[in-house]
Chain A
Amino acid sequence: MLNYDLVVVGGGPAGMAAALQAHEEGIEKIIILERADTLGGILEQCIHTGFGLHYFGEELSGPEYAGRFIEQVYNTDIDVKVDTMVLDISADNVVTAVNNFDGLLTIQAKAIVLAMGCRERPRGALSIAGSRAAGIMTAGTAQKYVNMDGYMPGKTVVILGSGDIGLIMARRMTLEGAKVKAVCELMPYSGGLTRNIVQCLEDFGIPLRLSCTVVATHGKERLEGVTVANVDEHLKPIPGTEEYIPCDTLMLSVGLIPENELSKNAGITLDPVTNGPVVDEYRETTHKGVFACGNVLQVHDLVDFVTEESKLAGSGAAKFIKGEKAEDGVVHTKGENGVRYIVPQNISRATDKDVKLYFRVGRVLENVTLTVTCGDEVLLSKKKRKMTPGEMEYVTLKAEVVKQLPVDSTIVVSTKEA
């Protein structure tokens, strides 16, 4: 059995930032385990630009953004094993992994950072009726075929779901010569970033059909077409609005789910809304010494926020290893009235830093007042012109404010229409 201070599971932007931060804070024995053949995570296939505007103040492509961190990692003595898949994390923080050069690896860790990213929701989760023809795939799979393998996965395309990956693939496929006939979105608004709707659809004249879904797929061997229909306010297809669109490819961009099989098996408590672990302000899970960050914790749309969050996790892990993570009772957080969830779910009153509460709203909200309260006390109140489910929001709470809250009290983030 090997011994490490910190084992980082997943070498995407989250894992790398956490490892680098812990290293900076003096942790010596760190290892990153990554199942793919390179570090970089999902960024390796995102060859479009738009990364790093917040963090580096410049527009980088996915691989460029990742590249900056990969270089830093290899310039330290952080150990890296790629092509290595973590299979299990035990109750006493023993990590079991497998690869084709060491065989089975067991590592005793003082602390662990979970940074496994997320996966795309498949078709089954949607139960679209119709055929099992080839040509139905998630947008991320299509992205991998085009950007990594260099093959076109389709020529005439309908995209279901207006998540960012779908929007980006609409543009990518168009640039590669395919015809994207429509992007259908079940909700009355898009789940993607506004800038992606403009740059990926509007600039190419690709229609975005809101309140619309795919009700059936057709074709025996390769897909030949889909039937789309408008939906009512209960998201049920409206009879009579069906329309047949011939296409050879249906791409699904219908949401991402944190990759939490390992977390679940380790007995870590998950938040039913985010599908990621319940964490404190340093992103420590309910399992002592195990931290989580990036898309495995909550699905992010901007990698810059991933980096920021992961540095917190790395810092928390470093403090935990050094026995410096202070405790003084916790307060809880909760979203209400349109605020779907809050990360972190718990905050230690001993926090030495201001705490950002990240959240998403459940529908488009305009001209609302955002309030943060604890019992009768209003901690913060803010006017917001517009908030959409596609964009992650945050409010910052001062450390002094958190310190004076009663143990086990609950901070509520809520909205009020003006």
Chain B
Amino acid sequence: MKYDVVVIGAGVVGALITRELSKLNVRVAMADKFNDVAMGTTKANSAIVHGGFDAANGTLKAKLNVRGTELMPQICKALSVPYRNNGSLVLAFSEKEMEHVHTLYARGVKNGVPRLSVVDKETVLKMEPHVSEEVVGALLSESAGIVCPYELTIAAAENAVTNGAEFLRNCEVQAIREENGEFVLETSLGEITAQYVVNAAGIHSDDIARMIGDDSISLVARKGEYYLLDKSFGYMADHTIFQCPNEMGKGVLVTPTVDGNLLIGPSALDVDDKEDVDTTPEGLEFIVEKAKKSVPTLNVRGAITSFAGMRAHPVTDDFIIAFSEKNDRFLNVAGIESPGLSAAPAIAEMVAGMFKEKAELTEKSEYTETREAPVRFRHMTKSEREALIAKNKAYGRIICRCETITEGEIVDAIHAPAGARDVDGVKRRTRAGMGRCQGGFCGSKVVEILARELNVPMNEITKFGGESKILFEKTK
């Protein structure tokens, strides 16, 4: 396999970069060690499009966050990804914390964050009636929003593949060598040659850089745990509600998700194992306790799932986006910790710019800027549903009853460009299995449909690739 550019990592950063590169006259592939896109940090984070007042003035983080947040609404629109401009609040519970709010305000203004203001207790409680009476004031950031990080990544990958990029799944890059002025990537799928490499491997971007002898990147793995509550709790917060950091640590957030659930978290724990995304009883207890400070009536009995994500904290405290000192055809996009999701559209814009300049690339004469919205039966009117079923009967068969997902939507998800190959992939693309019963009813049906559409026996279908098999041999 031979490409002009190989992007290593199919997280939100890699996928948006690949999408930008797919518009250029260049052969591009995106490789990921997993069976799907968005399997790393991108699938487990707070999903906030931050205003941009957090990062220190003058950093890449600050600049790309503000720009990314500006680009996000239009990118989401082009890719038909749910995005909501719900705004965020940083709550202060004491005069000392109010001082911090003013510091954030000043920093935000300097970073160029639009629509930022300091509001008093009454305003907060009017906006968020479930917030604790103890609040004294808050920082309101009206440009902040929420987005579904994996839908954004899936849509970006789909759009990139439509424009000619390739997605190489189950392709773990194990070593990189140079031969005749080209990179040879030794992967679990065999050798791949590339003129250029983009290292967007998230928490592993330091390991990937080391493969070409670049040991300038040093990342600390820091775990964050979350609870996701049922939609019936979604009413408890409209804005994203942050806390001020204090002696006790950074504080946790309470936020609605674009699907209308309530998300609380994260905890923060430095860990040695980068793959350790297990949730812990202590971590989960911690976030509930903390979140109750903001919204005292929270009740985790409404929890439908818990999960953890891994921060890739760079010791330099800023994003690293530069061609490597060791090889100027190797671009590091590393240390993309929070606000990496918010910044991702701007990172992609910046990277495409760097490539255009470096390799003198031109735009394709024709490409598709948009990605059509997938069919969403649950959001349709009666007449739309009728027309849809008349066109294709598979939309008349409900598979997931909690979320009202039809067989047609699942089949679409499997056959989409860079489509689903496993149960979790179907779930992320359609929401089948994401509801109250968490796949209790439809899980086995989804396995059946995957097996049928991919033409393999049911016991070859996995939950999320690799050895995550669901079924063993046939019964006696």
Mark A residues whose CB is within 8 Å of B: 35, 83, 85, 87, 96, 98-104, 119-120, 122-125, 127, 129-135, 137-138, 140-141, 144-146, 148-155, 176-177, 215-218, 220-222, 237, 261
- Chain B residues contacting A218 (CB-CB under 8 Å) are 278
- Chain A residues contacting B459 (CB-CB under 8 Å) are 151
- Chain A residues contacting B458 (CB-CB under 8 Å) are 149, 151
Complex Cα distance, B463 from A221, in Å, reads 8
| Sample of 7 A–B contacts (CB below 8 Å) | A122-B439, A130-B279, A134-B464, A141-B443, A145-B471, A152-B472, A155-B472
Nearest CB of chain B from residue A40's CB, rounded to whole Å: 15
Contact between B389 and A124 (Cβ–Cβ < 8 Å)?
A: no
Contact between B303 and A122 (Cβ–Cβ < 8 Å)?
A: no
Q: Which residue in chain B gives the minimum CB-CB distance to A155?
A: B472
Given contacts A85-B401, A134-B464, A150-B474, contact A119 B278 (CB under 8 A): no
Contact between A215 and B468 (Cβ–Cβ < 8 Å)?
A: no
Complex Cα distance, B458 from A148, in Å, reads 13
Contact between B476 and A98 (Cβ–Cβ < 8 Å)?
A: no
Complex Cα distance, B440 from A221, in Å, reads 19
Closest 5 pairs (CB-CB, A-B) = A100-B396, A122-B438, A134-B463, A134-B468, A100-B393
Contact between A124 and B304 (Cβ–Cβ < 8 Å)?
A: yes
Given contacts A127-B284, A151-B474, A152-B473, contact A101 B396 (CB under 8 A): yes
Contact between B304 and A125 (Cβ–Cβ < 8 Å)?
A: yes
Given contacts A98-B385, A99-B397, A221-B467, contact A120 B437 (CB under 8 A): yes
Q: Which residue of A130, A137, A151, A177 is within 8 Å of B443 (Cβ)? A: A137
1/0 per position for B338-365, CB-CB distance to A under 8 A?
0000000000000000000000000000
Q: Does B470 contact A (CB under 8 A)?
A: yes
Contact between B471 and A153 (Cβ–Cβ < 8 Å)?
A: yes
Q: Given A124-B438, A134-B468, A148-B444, 19 more contacts at CB 8 Å?
A: A35-B398, A98-B389, A98-B398, A100-B397, A101-B396, A104-B389, A119-B440, A119-B441, A120-B440, A124-B305, A129-B278, A130-B278, A134-B470, A140-B440, A141-B440, A150-B474, A151-B475, A216-B281, A221-B468
- Chain B residues contacting A104 (CB-CB under 8 Å) are 382, 385-386, 389, 396
Q: Which residue of B283, B307, B393, B467 is within 8 Å of A132 (Cβ)? A: B307
Given contacts A124-B304, A129-B280, contact A152 B474 (CB under 8 A): yes
Complex Cα distance, B279 from A261, in Å, reads 30
- Chain A residues contacting B401 (CB-CB under 8 Å) are 35, 85, 261
1/0 per position for B255-276, CB-CB distance to A under 8 A?
0000000000000000000010
For A104, A125, A130, A134, the residue with the greatest tally of chain B CB atoms inside 10 Å of its CB is A134
Given contacts A101-B393, A103-B386, A153-B470, contact A129 B281 (CB under 8 A): yes
Nearest CB of chain A from residue B141's CB, rounded to whole Å: 31
Q: Which residue in chain A gives the minimum CB-CB distance to B398?
A: A85
- Chain A residues contacting B133 (CB-CB under 8 Å) are none
Nearest CB of chain B from residue A285's CB, rounded to whole Å: 20
Q: Which residue in chain B gives the minimum CB-CB distance to A123?
A: B438
Complex Cα distance, B217 from A412, in Å, reads 71
Nearest CB of chain A from residue B407's CB, rounded to whole Å: 8
Q: Does B214 contact A (CB under 8 A)?
A: no
Q: Does B404 contact A (CB under 8 A)?
A: yes
Contact between B382 and A129 (Cβ–Cβ < 8 Å)?
A: no
Q: How would you classify the secondary structure of chain B's contact residues: helix, strand, loop or mixed?
A: mixed
Nearest CB of chain B from residue A257's CB, rounded to whole Å: 8
Contact between A141 and B396 (Cβ–Cβ < 8 Å)?
A: no
Q: Which residue in chain A gives the minimum CB-CB distance to B275?
A: A220
Mark B residues whose CB is within 8 Å of A: 227-228, 275, 277-281, 283-284, 300-301, 303-307, 382, 385-386, 389-390, 393-398, 401-402, 404, 407, 436-441, 443-444, 448, 458-459, 462-464, 466-476
Given contacts A85-B398, A85-B401, A103-B396, contact A119 B469 (CB under 8 A): no
Contact between B394 and A100 (Cβ–Cβ < 8 Å)?
A: yes
- Chain A residues contacting B467 (CB-CB under 8 Å) are 221-222
Contact between B385 and A122 (Cβ–Cβ < 8 Å)?
A: no
Contact between B227 and A122 (Cβ–Cβ < 8 Å)?
A: no
Contact between A152 and B304 (Cβ–Cβ < 8 Å)?
A: no
Contact between A134 and B462 (Cβ–Cβ < 8 Å)?
A: yes
Complex Cα distance, B466 from A78, in Å, reads 49
Q: Which residue of A83, A119, A149, A155 is within 8 Å of B397 (Cβ)? A: A83
Complex Cα distance, B303 from A26, in Å, reads 47
Nearest CB of chain A from residue B1's CB, rounded to whole Å: 26
- Chain A residues contacting B437 (CB-CB under 8 Å) are 119-120, 122
- Chain A residues contacting B402 (CB-CB under 8 Å) are 261
- Chain A residues contacting B468 (CB-CB under 8 Å) are 133-134, 221-222
- Chain A residues contacting B393 (CB-CB under 8 Å) are 100-101
Nearest CB of chain A from residue B403's CB, rounded to whole Å: 11
- Chain B residues contacting A125 (CB-CB under 8 Å) are 301, 303-304
- Chain B residues contacting A132 (CB-CB under 8 Å) are 277, 307, 464
Nearest CB of chain B from residue A202's CB, rounded to whole Å: 24
Q: Which residue in chain B gives the minimum CB-CB distance to A222?
A: B467
Q: Which residue of B407, B436, B444, B463 is within 8 Å of A145 (Cβ)? A: B444
Contact between B306 and A138 (Cβ–Cβ < 8 Å)?
A: no
Nearest CB of chain A from residue B302's CB, rounded to whole Å: 9
Contact between A87 and B404 (Cβ–Cβ < 8 Å)?
A: yes
Complex Cα distance, B386 from A98, in Å, reads 9
Nearest CB of chain B from residue A321's CB, rounded to whole Å: 27
- Chain B residues contacting A87 (CB-CB under 8 Å) are 398, 404
Q: Which residue in chain B gives the minimum CB-CB distance to A120?
A: B440
Complex Cα distance, B280 from A85, in Å, reads 39
Contact between B443 and A176 (Cβ–Cβ < 8 Å)?
A: no
Nearest CB of chain A from residue B462's CB, rounded to whole Å: 7
- Chain B residues contacting A120 (CB-CB under 8 Å) are 437, 440
Contact between B278 and A131 (Cβ–Cβ < 8 Å)?
A: yes
- Chain A residues contacting B283 (CB-CB under 8 Å) are 129
Complex Cα distance, B296 from A17, in Å, reads 47
- Chain A residues contacting B441 (CB-CB under 8 Å) are 119, 141
Complex Cα distance, B459 from A124, in Å, reads 25
Nearest CB of chain A from residue B438's CB, rounded to whole Å: 4
Given contacts A104-B386, A149-B458, contact A124 B306 (CB under 8 A): yes
Nearest CB of chain B from residue A221's CB, rounded to whole Å: 4
